[in-house]
Amino acid sequence: MQTQEHPDLSSLLRVERSPKAFGSRATSLVSLPPGALFARITSATPAQKAYTSVQTSRDTHIELNSDLVFCNHSCDPSVEFDMERFEVRVVKDRPLEKGEPVTFFYPSSEWEMAQPFECECGGERCRGLIKGAKDMGERELEGYWLNGHIVGLLEERRAGRNGVVRESKV
């Protein structure tokens, strides 16, 4: 993980501040094709689980320390936060347009949210109360890109439901 003081993302996104709690948001200043790299995460620091942190593995979280923290949740996201590569990419099924909110699907990285919330995206696929991938059925997660640690935790959950207990590697 690189450490760099608050990278300048001003050519990629604009933060629209709001007096409403959790109302500020990031808006794209660029148009990019599906799957394109939007930004690299270069200033992250290890952190405890918090409403501003992003989960990077089964039990680790980071603070972004950049304006990427203003990328809100959407059930119809415009980007993916790939926490294995520390990249933010445009979703693969549509382009990112200039002026569009930069959003990602929080359960793609979060197993359990530090602060669950009622989604207000208004999208056709809106999932309502967002608590993290742990509290979502596999059908609800179908069609979303998910980080490897979330896929692994879902596989473990599935195995536990089927009566399979994994051996400890301690």
Q: Where are the domains of the chain?
A: 13-161
What integer pLDDT is reported at residue 119 of this predicted model?
A: 95
Q: Is the pTM of this model over 0.85?
A: yes
Name the strands in the sheet holding 87-90, side by side, starting at the edge strand that comes first in the sequence: 37-40, 87-90, 79-82
**Domain 13-161 top-level CATH class:** mainly beta
Q: Across the 170 residues of the chain, what is the mean pLDDT of every consecutive 10-residue run?
A: 69 95 94 99 97 97 98 98 98 98 98 95 93 96 98 95 43
What integer pLDDT is reported at residue 7 of this predicted model?
A: 87
